[in-house]
Amino acid sequence: MNRFEGAGRGGEAKIRFLDGDFQVIVPGAFVTCAVTGMRIPLSDLRYWSVDRQEAYADAATSLKRERELSGR
């Protein structure tokens, strides 16, 4: 096995966030929350922004980010 084989299996995945779904570009075990820096297992990923292409740990974090960026 070369050093790149399986590199994404336990590491961070690269994701394209779509409306109601996401596409895995580079396989991995988790994505990082754009606000908290928390690792989110792909099986638990429920919140993201299509426009910003960011993942969020939970609904409250998603709302916090939206308020930060909208100035509310």
pLDDT tens, residue by residue, 7-65: 456 899 999 999 999 999 999 999 999 999 999 999 999 999 999 999 999 999 999 99
Q: Decide the pairing of beta strands 47-49 and 21-26.
A: unpaired
Is 59 part of a structural domain of the chain? Answer: yes
Is 1 part of a structural domain of the chain? Answer: no
Tokens 């993942």, residue? 55
Is 7 part of a structural domain of the chain? Answer: no
Task: Provide the pLDDT confidence category of residue 70 given band limits of 50, 70 and 90.
Answer: confident
Q: Could you list the residue range(s) of the whole structural domain that residue 63 is in?
A: 14-70
Total-model pTM: 0.82
